[in-house]
Amino acid sequence: MKRTDRAEQVYKILNRIYKKVPIPLKHTNKFELLIAVLLSAQCTDERVNKVTPVLFKKANTSLKMIKVPKSTIYKIIRPCGLAPQKSDAIFKLSRILVKKFRGKVPESFEDLERLPGVGHKTASVVVSQGFGVPAFPVDTHIHRLAQRWGLTNGKSVKTTETDLKKLFPSEKWNKLHLQIIFYGREFCSAWGCNGTVCKICKT
């Protein structure tokens, strides 16, 4: 089967199961989204969603966050792991946003990727979910599923992102990224599917 035909099959199944998909990380503004995505690195969304209400009660904008001591940020986000690096990144990026962007989260990939603690995947999530800009954030989770489903044979998340962007039109990227995440968690986990269990793998 051609990869394009396989992609069409996968999309039909995902779209049938997930007509609407919520954004997993709870937030009320773009700054909160940026911080939540940063905290989600090597951490579950569930845990992030338990930590962020406490953090955002103290500061939910960069203007407010610059007044919070880094030690306080560290104590709050510690359950998310990598707390020294993440608290330092939040502390520094908040000051950069205030100094260079009038306290607002920038929309461009380039500006976002220059912020401390913000890599390509984090920037992709922020522009797609925060600004509605077409992007296809690919982490190891999506990378593994794309390989398993025959959508890529790429050895890296970067190659997989390129392959997926070629297979699906840009207007589908933002929703499809979330559909893949939800499907993987529910039906095709690393341990729960050996490639013959879920509907996509069996098709």
The radius of gyration computed from the CA coordinates of the chain, to the nearest angstrom, equals 18
Return d(Cα 12, Cα 9) in angstroms, integer.
Answer: 5
3-state secondary structure of 8: helix
- What are the helix (H) ranges across the chain? 3-17, 30-39, 45-58, 62-65, 70-77, 83-101, 109-113, 120-125, 131, 140-148, 157-167, 170-186, 199-202
Torsion region of 154: left, alpha or beta (phi above 0 gives left; psi -120 to 50 gives alpha): beta
DSSP string, 21-58: ---SS--SSHHHHHHHHHHTTTS-HHHHHHHHHHHHHH
Contact between 132 and 124 under an 8 Å Cβ cutoff? The reply is no
Catalytic site residues? 121, 139
